[in-house]
Amino acid sequence: MRSSLRFPLLGALLAVPALATVVMSVSVDELIARTPVIVHGTVHRSEVNWDEAHRGIWTWTEIVVRESLKGKPSTTVLVKQPGGAIGELRQSVSGAARFEPGEEVVLFLEPAIDEPGAFVIMGLSFGKVTLESNPGAKVAKRNLKGLALARPGRAGIVGPVNELEVLGTADAFLARVRKAVAGGAK
């Protein structure tokens, strides 16, 4: 991977049961600090195509930016992810984020190294937070299904997570990100 700030995908190096992709587990504040671009936006559309060598399937999702929380993205960002379906052929990557048109999200992004103007999500679905309405309040959730988390400084890997993680209300989560970006989080 190109820098120490990227979340290493350790799946190729470490055996994990139940087909999970291994990413480094860090706190939300560490994720904010390590991520160059953070956006709050709405999913507009997704498109699936082959890579140039016609060996892998990739999904590109266009996000309309409501608020740039960190960095200086344009009013839309293009997110590139491995996997997708073309006709009856499907390529799946465990732990990749899924998007639905109209979905409200906060994304922790870095520039794609192989495609100018595109971004990748830090740690696959670990770097995607969905803001969804529940009775009473809008909540911030992260779907960690298909991931296994490695803890810095600890031996071994926590097994596959396969759960939704609730990060509080949407307003509180957005306030936390804004505060951390402004230097208020310790």
The answer to whether residue 96 is domain-embedded is yes
- Residues in CB range of 15: below 8 A, 6 or more apart: none
**Mean per-residue pLDDT, 103-120:** 94
Q: What confidence score (pLDDT) does residue 2 get? A: 38
Per the structure, how many domains does the chain have? Answer: 1
Does residue 128 have a pLDDT over 70? yes
The answer to whether residue 66 is domain-embedded is yes
The answer to whether residue 4 is domain-embedded is no
Does residue 181 have a pLDDT over 90? yes
The answer to whether residue 1 is domain-embedded is no
Query: Do the beta carbons of residue 22 and residue 97 sit within 8 Å?
Result: no
Going by pLDDT thresholds of 50, 70 and 90, the confidence category of residue 12 is very low
With H, G, I as helix, E, B as strand and everything else as coil, classify residue 136. Answer: coil
pLDDT: which is higher, 18 or 91: 91
The answer to whether residue 28 is domain-embedded is yes
- Chain mean pLDDT for the chain: 83
* Token pair for 21: 């992709």
The answer to whether residue 160 is domain-embedded is yes
Percent of residues, the chain, with pLDDT higher than 90:
53
Backbone angles phi, psi at 32, to 5 degrees: -60, -45
Going by pLDDT thresholds of 50, 70 and 90, the confidence category of residue 92 is confident
Got the DSSP string for 92-133? --TT-----TT-EEEEEEEE-TTSTTEEEETTGGGGEEEEEE
The answer to whether residue 36 is domain-embedded is yes
The answer to whether residue 161 is domain-embedded is yes
The whole domain housing 157 covers: 21-181
**Mean per-residue pLDDT, 10-39:** 70
Q: What confidence score (pLDDT) does residue 4 get? A: 39
pLDDT: which is higher, 3 or 87: 87
pLDDT: which is higher, 105 or 20: 105
Among the residue ranges 50-64, 154-168, 171-185, the one predicted with the least confidence is 154-168
Q: Which CATH number characterizes residue 166's domain? A: 2.40.50.120
The Cα 46–Cα 98 span in angstroms is 10
